[in-house]
Chain A
């Protein structure tokens, strides 16, 4: 059970509040950084594999996505400023493609409002490589079939943080 999300083919920019060539779009003003509490990642040969430890979803980031992700590990920026810089360096298509990808990562809660003091500074590559994302949900399916429950002795089991029975 693999869901492949090739960008920008399968996720229309219109789904996101980031829109092409609107670098000053005020809809998404917040800075973003990697949700380190929720995900873990490894980089191999320039590709970054991110796993959402809550859902089990695996994301493979390639091309421009990988250095941008790296920069958001220890720094923060607005999605618009990153997309705008990509557009300035590589052209309008790069702006749009990066904006869409960042939107998907925000939707997946892998990028969250930044609370870091450092500004993200991606190592922009000399040659543009389209940001790509493969999204795999097999592990999430396994977790759904064989769920992991948190427990709270006084509340009975299963129990999810927040007080509701799972």
Chain B
């Protein structure tokens, strides 16, 4: 990865004569314009962000995104440390290189650019969360935290679902969504800790087959399967899922392992909240201090609970409903 790779990416995108239709979306109250240059990426952008589509009025977009397929600069590199990771750009912003298969850039004065190798256009992680790292960096510049968490909405109240990978965030979120609760995200959400608002980000989910079977929703069409065996699914209202753009955050729920006594809501002391939320941190330059400040703000303001999970999903959903009912509304 060298500065020349960025120049090469710019040259590739600037050489594109014809961009397909713009998609304008509203994410966390900000207007974003996404331009795509290829039908293959148009489809994945629609799956990820179609639920946030916005009719542009007099307002100006606050962020421009360009997505194209092409030769990814730096793909010849073989040293993992040279090809992988998040690079802090001089003057602000980040570059994220995904092993020669994707290069994404966030430059505050320009926007977000993503160049995808043709053979990577169906990568499960790309399909489920395109541009996650660069959008998280942009969000950080706007005092929003990208959190590795799920979230659902209950009667207008947002509940953040916290758990490490494999803890059951997706299963819980989808069980709630299948029961009629609003879906805000199953793996990544944007949170404004100061206004205590949680925003829906991606209209996709990743779910194991056994979870899908337990939820009773086998009709979802799988776009890809990731290396862990999780199916990547694009959600839409046609599937009976109610995708929600935002909700006031009223409670934090830590998803815990099955203790054999069934899913139920248990109060979590405030001092346990920050350690329990460490799995929500997203690695980005300069993100650790805002993350700690943000989760401390949430921990002080909101009631926190833990829910031991189990396959009695009705009880899981009931626990989440109870957390929302006991949540803090200001």
Contacts and interface: CB of A to CB of B under 8 A. Distances in A.
A119 interface: no
Interface magnitude class on chain A: 20 to 34
A151 B81 CA distance: 13
A33 to B, nearest CB: 19
B275 interface: yes
Most chain A beta-carbon neighbours within 10 Å: one of B85, B269, B289, B296: B85
Nearest to A54: B288
B300 interface: yes
Contacts of B89: 151
B279 A138 contact: yes
Contacts of B296: 42, 44, 49
B126 interface: no
A44 B270 contact: yes
B288 A166 contact: no
B283 A56 contact: yes
Contact of B283 (A45, A142, A150, A156): A142
Given A44-B300, A138-B279, A158-B81, A151 B90 contact: yes
A51 B296 CA distance: 12
B25 to A, nearest CB: 26
Nearest to B279: A138
B3 interface: yes
Interface magnitude class on chain B: 20 to 34
A136 B299 CA distance: 18
Interface string A35-76: 000001110111101010100101010100000000000000
Nearest to B89: A151
A153 B88 contact: no
Contacts of A46: 271
Report whether over half of chain A's contact residues are helix, strand or loop; otherwise say mixed: strand
Given A142-B283, A146-B283, A157-B3, A58 B81 contact: no
A51 B289 contact: yes
A148 interface: yes
A43 to B, nearest CB: 8
Contacts of B281: 56, 139, 142
A97 B187 CA distance: 41
Given A138-B279, A139-B281, A147 B289 contact: no
A42 B88 contact: no
A46 B300 CA distance: 12
A143 interface: yes
A149 B87 contact: yes
Contacts of A138: 164, 278-279
B82 interface: yes
B109 interface: no
A56 B85 CA distance: 16
B266 interface: no
A134 interface: yes
30 contacts: A40-B288, A41-B292, A42-B293, A42-B296, A44-B273, A44-B300, A45-B269, A45-B270, A46-B271, A49-B275, A49-B292, A53-B289, A56-B281, A56-B283, A56-B288, A58-B275, A62-B271, A136-B275, A136-B278, A142-B281, A146-B84, A149-B86, A151-B3, A152-B90, A157-B2, A157-B3, A157-B82, A157-B87, A158-B87, A166-B81
